[in-house]
A and B are shown apart, each in its own frame.
Chain A
């Protein structure tokens, strides 16, 4: 249904159940061919900067898109975002915040620090499924990534 090449996504999510929901949705909608999942902010940075066990680009390929939760152990999501956007290479990767928080301060902070989009996880199953479907359609069918 969706046209376009499947993409590589780095999913930064500390809640394993939420990670499972996202992965299941992306798989069903054939959005991503590879989802790399890390559970905390430090691991996300290590992955992106190819440090501490993420050195091999075959194991940790550069993602086309980052899906980032905000409240993360070790290094906070906002801090991860800041570091990504401060890096001349990493800043080109669109970073989408996906979180349960709808607090205005989080939204403003996320955009201030360079988030490409801010998505609030819906409590409702149908809505979450629809969100992931629309998300996939947008990024695969319409979005143009840097080469």
Chain B
């Protein structure tokens, strides 16, 4: 009995000795122990109910203020039908309860991830479950979008915090992303560290799994150097009053595709076990996101494949129809010994076979874009443009066009040979469709639109009917049947630009008003011109 009393005492009023409590009347005892419960009023009601019904009750869970969970067994002691007392049995099931909760949480998260519902609608539910389990006041999920890792979903963060911390990419004075040696944008702050895998597992605030966590940002900032923290930190989490902060990477294979963030103003919210658990959970969430992305890519690819199959089936079938038909006529004309028609038939057959050969060559070339990449290099715009111009020098001379390349110090990053092909096809296209322009002219240059660097090839030629703008980049699409070529040039340019993470489009004010082709590339930079006096 003494031992049981001591345990009871340790749970509920550790400042007192068990002996001091023994013999106390119910009311006095209640006063001492009630503050230890997480919900004293509720416990009060429960005890009254238990006493009133005087029946044994087993396995009641009770939360304490310090987070412990007790399992209560209540047994009225009856001797000869007379109520002689009660036995209260308390067992500490905190660890077991935690394990059960974790199990339930991971089960719930897995079920949500595997549900047929859209990941977009599932994520808020998952974050809700994690938040509920962790008891943290704020939770957020960053997912890669383009080159940045903005918040995909947040709960509990002030709106101003989310807006201020949305982007992680460092920008220079001009608003362009600051890039590292591999042309990836610098990601700032501790989130950037976790996303880029910059961590030192020897330091206590990093885990071997690449997570960051602290139970006191105040102590962390006071006790660590910027170098230990791997990068200059913005410290907005600390500034906002968050003491407990955990950042857990979302992985898909070797790649980090995002992170889970847990913040609380109270210190001491995390344990190493919790962080390990979140790392496991985030692996599953990461895989789910990667799967979603893969599904989306697959849909795009499928749509592209359908378009491709359509085009190929039509464009390759066409010359085949010609070959077969004129072979038929050839047979007839040979039988009739109609030499003139025999020659004509052969002409049609040869032309169709040549066209097929050319189509197949170009298809092969197109299929290689993105599949076989040369090493990616930095090349100045002028170098690419000059090489492209030398490749189409013949046609430029034929058209009599004056070609001007801007002198802006811009460096493109990519597959050099392919980038040349982009300019080559755009210039080729420009000089081919000069129309009746007496002074044909082509300008190659670069400009800044918003935060984007946009390249252009502009001509003062035939222009485009705005109705046909969408068809320009289609495979084998020819707006002018009389023009040379198979209609593959612009499709190829588009494919190359897209493989480089850019977009391409055409602008024209209409027929006779010239055309400007513009494109972006994911990785370009304008080199600061040191010559320019400031």
Whether A103 contacts B322 by the Cβ 8 Å rule is no
Whether A103 contacts B313 by the Cβ 8 Å rule is yes
With a cutoff of 8 Å between Cβ atoms, the chain B residues found around residue A20 in the complex are 348
With a cutoff of 8 Å between Cβ atoms, the chain B residues found around residue A21 in the complex are 321-322, 325-326
Stretch from B137-145, B181-189, B474-482 contacting the other chain: B474-482
B3 on the A face (CB < 8 A): no
CA distance A71 to B478 in the complex (A): 10
CA distance A99 to B318 in the complex (A): 9
What total of chain B residues lie within 8 Å of the partner, measured CB to CB?
26
B304 → chain A, closest Cβ, in Å? 15
With a cutoff of 8 Å between Cβ atoms, the chain A residues found around residue B197 in the complex are none
B334 → chain A, closest Cβ, in Å? 14
A72 closest partner in B (C-beta): B481
With a cutoff of 8 Å between Cβ atoms, the chain B residues found around residue A76 in the complex are 471
Which among B320, B321, B481 has the highest number of chain A CB atoms within 10 Å? B321
Stretch from A3-11, A46-54, A108-116, A120-128 contacting the other chain: A120-128
What 0/1 pattern do residues 313 to 325 of B give for CB contact below 8 A with A?
Answer: 1100111111011
B481 closest partner in A (C-beta): A73
B270 on the A face (CB < 8 A): no
Partner of A17, one of B327, B351, B467, B481: B351
Whether A123 contacts B321 by the Cβ 8 Å rule is yes
B259 on the A face (CB < 8 A): no
With a cutoff of 8 Å between Cβ atoms, the chain A residues found around residue B481 in the complex are 14, 39-40, 73-74
B130 on the A face (CB < 8 A): no
A25 closest partner in B (C-beta): B325
Whether A24 contacts B329 by the Cβ 8 Å rule is yes
B504 on the A face (CB < 8 A): no
B352 on the A face (CB < 8 A): yes
Whether A74 contacts B321 by the Cβ 8 Å rule is no
Partner of A15, one of B322, B324, B479: B322
Q: Which of B355-397 contact A (CB under 8 A)?
A: none
Whether A74 contacts B329 by the Cβ 8 Å rule is no
Whether B310 contacts A126 by the Cβ 8 Å rule is no
With A73-B481, A74-B479, A74-B480 in contact, do A18 and B318 touch (Cβ < 8 Å)?
yes
With a cutoff of 8 Å between Cβ atoms, the chain A residues found around residue B479 in the complex are 73-74
B400 on the A face (CB < 8 A): no
With a cutoff of 8 Å between Cβ atoms, the chain B residues found around residue A33 in the complex are none
A29 → chain B, closest Cβ, in Å? 14
A60 on the B face (CB < 8 A): no
Whether A100 contacts B322 by the Cβ 8 Å rule is no
CA distance A20 to B330 in the complex (A): 14
Partner of B328, one of A14, A18, A102, A126: A126
A121 → chain B, closest Cβ, in Å? 5
A53 → chain B, closest Cβ, in Å? 15
A residues neighboring B (CB under 8 Å): 14-15, 17-18, 20-21, 24, 39-40, 71, 73-76, 99-103, 121-126, 128-129
16 A-B pairs in the complex with CB atoms less than 8 angstroms apart: A18-B318, A21-B325, A71-B314, A73-B479, A73-B480, A100-B321, A101-B314, A102-B313, A103-B310, A121-B317, A122-B321, A123-B317, A123-B320, A125-B327, A126-B328, A128-B325
With A18-B321, A40-B481 given, name 13 new contacts (CB 8 A): A17-B351, A17-B352, A20-B348, A21-B326, A73-B481, A74-B481, A75-B467, A101-B310, A103-B310, A122-B321, A123-B317, A123-B320, A125-B327
